[in-house]
A and B are shown apart, each in its own frame.
Chain A
Amino acid sequence: MKFKKLNLVLILLITILVFFALYLGMKKQNLYTTDHIVNKKMPNLISTELFTGEEKNLSKLVAKEKFTILNIWASWCAPCRSEHKHLITLSSNNNSKIVGLNYKDKIENAKSFISELGNPYDHILLDKKGFISIDIGAYGVPETYVIDNTNNKIIKKYLGPIDEFILEEIINILNS
């Protein structure tokens, strides 16, 4: 009899625990998130520049400013067009440099994209095969990283296009 009661309590306990865990799990986002990348060191990034064709090292390009904004974009990516105006707004901020990483694009298309919509970038580096993006843990376009240059750490990463809300958040980080 005692054994049966123990069984009952045990089973009830497990059921309640399972349901509680499911309840908590339901509140979590089940899509790919960027948490694991935050606070990681930014890998060193060397690539050719779009306009000059010279080999450049990212860390040397941005040594003076406090922050780097690294934006992955491509001329074939539709959301990149919608976020472009926000990047132009950001380019007026003095605390940061904006570096564009052009993702798997044709050089002519990339150039005409910039001449059509304006150039918010201080530098544009090329990622012809997409390997650099993989190296920094990105998986598509557009994506935006905010990097603290004092310790070379990634503070924030945004998936998808920048909108008004994200713009404000980035400006707040830059001005802090």
Chain B
Amino acid sequence: MKKIFTLITFSFLLLILINNSVLADNKISKVDSISKNLRCLICQGQSVYDSQSEFAISVKDLIKKKIEEGNSDNDIYEYLKNKYGNWIMYEPELDKKTLLLWILPLILFVFGGLLIFKKAFINYNKNV
């Protein structure tokens, strides 16, 4: 029992070290990470990153240029949103219009949790 215990502890340690070293090694370029979050407007269901259409190539070049000019990720997103509307963003921003989109699932989760709690603790104890 003790043996397994140490074994597992060590394997977790190892895992974490591996995880960190592997991820630290993995530098994805900023252009890639930004263009992955953008919808290619003329290609159905593809991101700008995945697409090789002229539009997508231009957008990627533009992102590169903007980064070199010292723009932040947010500046670039804002710029593109201004030009093409929110539709270009794969991650909808949290504002008045998308509030429900983000919190409705969470509300449902809490609600479900309360139902189970009631069933397992309150009602059960009442009946017992």
- Cβ-defined contact, A131 with B62, below 8 A: yes
19 contacts between A and B (CB under 8 A): A32-B41, A32-B42, A104-B58, A129-B62, A130-B61, A131-B62, A131-B65, A133-B58, A134-B59, A134-B62, A134-B80, A135-B83, A136-B83, A137-B84, A139-B41, A140-B53, A140-B54, A140-B55, A141-B54
Residues 107-141 (chain A) with a chain B CB within 8 angstroms = 129-131, 133-137, 139-141
Question: How far apart are B67's CB and chain A's nearest CB, in angstroms?
Answer: 14
- Which size bracket describes the interface of A in this complex? 10 to 19
B61's nearest neighbour on chain A, judged by CB, is A129
- Cβ-defined contact, B58 with A137, below 8 A: no
- Which size bracket describes the interface of B in this complex? 10 to 19
- Cβ-defined contact, B55 with A130, below 8 A: yes
A133 to B59, CA, bound (A): 10
- Cβ-defined contact, B87 with A32, below 8 A: yes
A130 to B80, CA, bound (A): 14
A133's nearest neighbour on chain B, judged by CB, is B58
User: Given A32-B41, A32-B42, A139-B42, A129 and B83 touching (CB < 8 A)?
Assistant: no
